[in-house]
Amino acid sequence: MLKAFLIYLSKAAWAKRIVTHWQVARRVVLRFVAGETETDAIEAVRSINQNGMTATLDVLGESVTSVEDAQAAANAYLSLIDAIEQEGLRSWVSLKLTAFGLDIDSALCQRNLIAVLDRAKAAGVMVTIDMEDSPYTQTTLDLFRSLRQQGYENVRTVIQSYLLRSDDDVRQLAEEGAGIRLVKGAYREPADVAYARKKDVDSAFVRQMNNLLEAAKDGRGYPAIATHDDAIIDQGLNFAQKEQVPPACYEFQMLYGVRTTLQSDLLAQGYNVRVYVPFGTQWYPYFMRRLAERPANLWFFASNFFRR
């Protein structure tokens, strides 16, 4: 119930107005977001790289409704990729199609994306198209495939294991050798589209993870297992060991500020770990989804409320 309510709030304009003006919220946000500026983000990635992990940077923003905002989002990525190159950082970037104007005009979105992919290609940076809620799934996969057909080898995307369609999508994408980040899924979806029970989502995640790992062993794709769930990570490691999938063929991805000890433990055991580093002023929906994933995070509000 609380989880569903928090996801509802993540899209509610009235709640956004209240929360973003609340000093305590702005402080708590810094647990999940590297800061509001590119400089903050670069600093965070530098430290992640120094600790032996790689990163993927995300300029926060989604569901833009003006051409200018979509253009500004693309420009922010162009600047970010320049900074990654100039600073010699080991970082990819992640972006959302609705930040690039998908809701306004798909041609505009595509133009913005291609500008970023071209710049990223020249800088040797991989670009992951994040997956948003299910009305965008097919469009995202269609665009992703069309970009690959146009020769963009530096584009990756995301599959959400909670979607009923994802077993089929993963089978197909693994066959195609696509670069996939596998996640559980962070949005509120109807019952005819997604599993509702954690047990079903977890089983689907494991099936799809194993499929991606098998393909990676044969040189098809380089999957990212993006979860903080110990039980699933253990199952992935056991499968990889049993099937002799070398650790260099896949990586783990986790969110900035979430289960940092687990991140370090996996790195110490010799696995590739990438941290998803979001930054920017448009942190509200991202932050609310993080609260929804673990409503216990609401306690941070309480503890910060009494801090001076």
Ligand X SMILES: Cc1cc2nc3c(=O)[nH]c(=O)nc-3n(C[C@H](O)[C@H](O)[C@H](O)COP(=O)(O)OP(=O)(O)OC[C@H]3O[C@@H](n4cnc5c(N)ncnc54)[C@H](O)[C@@H]3O)c2cc1C
Contacting ligand X (CB under 6 A), which of 130, 169, 189, 251? 130
187 near ligand X, judged by CB under 6 A: yes
Which residue among the candidates 148, 156, 181, 188 is catalytic per the annotation? 181
Which residue among the candidates 58, 103, 130, 169 is catalytic per the annotation? 130
186 near ligand X, judged by CB under 6 A: yes
Least distance to ligand X from the beta carbon of 160, Å?
Answer: 5
Contacting ligand X (CB under 6 A), which of 53, 254, 266, 273? 254
For residue 18, give the amino acid letter: I
Under rule CB under 6 A, how many of the chain's residues touch ligand X?
Answer: 24
Question: Is 243 in contact with 217 (CB distance < 8 Å)?
Answer: yes
Q: Which stretch binds ligand X (CB under 6 A): 80-88, 170-178, 179-187, 242-250?
A: 179-187
Helices and strands of the chain, counted as H and E runs: 13, 8
Least distance to ligand X from the beta carbon of 148, Å?
Answer: 18
Tokens of 11: 């899209």
220 near ligand X, judged by CB under 6 A: no
> Which residues make Cβ contacts (< 8 Å) with residue 12, sequence separation at least 6?
none
Q: Which stretch binds ligand X (CB under 6 A): 71-79, 119-127, 181-189, 243-251?
A: 181-189
Rg (CA), the chain: 19
Contacting ligand X (CB under 6 A), which of 112, 140, 272, 297? 297
Contacting ligand X (CB under 6 A), which of 48, 228, 283, 288? 228
Across the strands, what pairs with 158?
A: 181
Least distance to ligand X from the beta carbon of 184, Å?
Answer: 4
Q: Which is nearer to ligand X, 41 or 131 (CB)?
A: 131
181 carries an active-site annotation: yes
Q: What is the DSSP letter of 210?
A: H
207 carries an active-site annotation: no
Cα 259 to chain centroid distance, Å, stands at: 15
Q: Which stretch binds ligand X (CB under 6 A): 116-124, 206-214, 264-272, 290-298?
A: 290-298
9 near ligand X, judged by CB under 6 A: no
Cβ neighbours, 10 Å, residue 207 = 15
Place of tokens 């798909």: 106
Q: What are phi and psi of 38, to 5 degrees?
A: -60, -35
Cβ neighbours, 10 Å, residue 157 = 24
User: Among candidates 110, 115, 43, 126, which has minimal Cα distance to 79?
Assistant: 115
Across the strands, what pairs with 277?
A: 57
Question: Is 188 in contact with 182 (CB distance < 8 Å)?
Answer: no
CA distance 300 to 232: 26
156 near ligand X, judged by CB under 6 A: no
DSSP codes joined into one string, 130-195: ---SGGGHHHHHHHHHHHHHTT-TTEEEEEETTBTTHHHHHHHHHHHT--EEEE---S---TTTB-
User: Among candidates 232, 221, 280, 222, which has minimal Cα distance to 256?
Assistant: 280
For residue 261, give the amino acid letter: T
Contacting ligand X (CB under 6 A), which of 35, 185, 223, 285? 185
Q: Which is nearer to ligand X, 148 or 184 (CB)?
A: 184
Least distance to ligand X from the beta carbon of 234, Å?
Answer: 12
Least distance to ligand X from the beta carbon of 209, Å?
Answer: 11
263 near ligand X, judged by CB under 6 A: no
233 near ligand X, judged by CB under 6 A: no
Least distance to ligand X from the beta carbon of 244, Å?
Answer: 25
Please give the residue ranges that form the binding site for ligand X (CB under 6 A): 130-131, 158, 160, 181, 183-187, 226-229, 253-255, 258-259, 276, 290, 293-294, 297
